[in-house]
Amino acid sequence: MTSTPNDYSGSSGDDASGLVAEQVKQGSQQVVQQTQQAAAQVVEKAQEQARHAMTSQKDQLAQSLRTVACSLEQAGETLRSQGTPVAAAAEAP
């Protein structure tokens, strides 16, 4: 039987399929690496956003506490200036 140009039997066929398999393997590894890098970037971005949100909320809480402290201080001064028994009781040891 004579060989035709489209006859892929033999070692050259094995070599070609091995080459294709290696290319597919390398392509798959690249896709995995790219996916891992993208996932790491998403995680990093989410962590940064969480840190920013936490810092912002902490700053808002601190400002609210300062406002409450000032209000309590003013209320205490007002009570002391009026000489109310509540002020005296609050200052007692």
Among candidate residues 35, 36, 55, the one with its CA nearest the CA of residue 47: 55
Supply φ then ψ for residue 92, to 5 degrees.
-70, 145
**Whole-model pTM over 0.75:** no
> 28-38, pLDDT tens digit by residue?
999 999 999 99
User: What is residue 84's predicted lDDT score, i.e. its pLDDT?
Assistant: 77
**Residue among 67, 62, 91, 92 nearest 77 (CA):** 91
Residue showing tokens 């200052």: 91
Task: Show Cβ contacts of residue 86 under 8 Å, excluding neighbours closer than 6 positions.
Answer: 79
Query: What are the boundaries of each domain within the chain?
Result: 12-91
- How confident is the model over 43-80, as pLDDT tens digits? 999 999 999 999 999 999 999 999 999 999 999 889 88
